[in-house]
Amino acid sequence: MIIISAKQKQGFWRCGIFHPFESTQYEDGAFTNEQLDVLEAEPMLSVTQVAEPEPEAKKPKAEK
């Protein structure tokens, strides 16, 4: 997951998307690697990539 917010209250356009002051979550794959590079390099945006937790493996049930 990627979380992006503008550092300006009026928001900011980058990569063809309006980024508001409030944090917005995007699913992985929402941006190309090139777009992510541009977004992360933009000083007017705060960009955080969050690793989604992997689902826990199912534990075998104990036999009675």
**pLDDT 10s digits, 3-61:** 999 999 999 899 999 999 999 999 999 999 999 999 999 999 999 999 876 666 666 66
Which domain, by its residues, includes 21?
2-49
The answer to whether position 12 is within a domain reads yes
The answer to whether position 62 is within a domain reads no
The kind and range of the H/E element at 42 are: none
The answer to whether position 7 is within a domain reads yes
pTM: 0.76
The answer to whether position 29 is within a domain reads yes
Contacts of 19 (CB under 8 A, 6+ apart): 4, 5, 6, 11, 12, 13, 45
Find the distance separating the first CA and the last CA of the chain, reported in whole Å.
41
Strand partners, 39: none
The answer to whether position 57 is within a domain reads no
Number of domains present in the structure of the chain: 1
Which of 26, 24, 30 lies closest to 5 in space, CA to CA?
A: 24
- Contact predicate 5/21, CB 8 Å: yes
The answer to whether position 56 is within a domain reads no
pLDDT at 2 over 70: yes
Above pLDDT 70, what percent of the chain? 81
The answer to whether position 59 is within a domain reads no
Give the pLDDT score at 63.
61
The answer to whether position 43 is within a domain reads yes
pLDDT for 10-21, tens place per residue? Answer: 998 999 999 999
